[in-house]
Amino acid sequence: MAQETVGAFLKDKLGNMARWATGELKNTDYGVDLEHFVRERTEMECAYLAGLLSTNSNMITHRDWSGLARIGEMPRQLLDVFHLIRQREDMHDKFWRYLELFATVISND
């Protein structure tokens, strides 16, 4: 049985987050097909995104929306969706848990 790489795991979980967000925001026009965006990312790109979150883990701990928006290397497509999630308080807990997972997985690799 082939062992899954960290990048493959992160891409899978990012895809899960994209499906969840797409389902929750289905009546919102946010100008990006988030699921397609994630499918087009390489495992290395997903690991890089997780690294950005890990480097800024204090922002995740404090649920700092403004800090999240200031991560310069974060793709605009994701930041646009993050902004919409910020407006939906019912999505906050799961959203931050996803970000914490990404940051934790890459920092433990």
Read off the pLDDT of residues 2-48 as tens digits, 9 standing for 90 and up.
568 999 999 999 999 999 999 999 877 777 789 999 999 999 999 99
For residue 18, what pLDDT is reported? 95
User: Residue 1: pLDDT above 50?
Assistant: no
- What pLDDT, on a 0 to 100 scale, did the predictor assign at position 3? 63
Cα(19)–Cα(40) distance, integer angstroms: 14
SS3 (DSSP) at 71: coil
Phi first, then psi: give them for residue 41, nearest 5 degrees: -80, 145
Tens-place pLDDT, residues 65-107? 999 999 989 998 899 899 999 999 999 999 999 999 999 999 9
DSSP class of 62? T
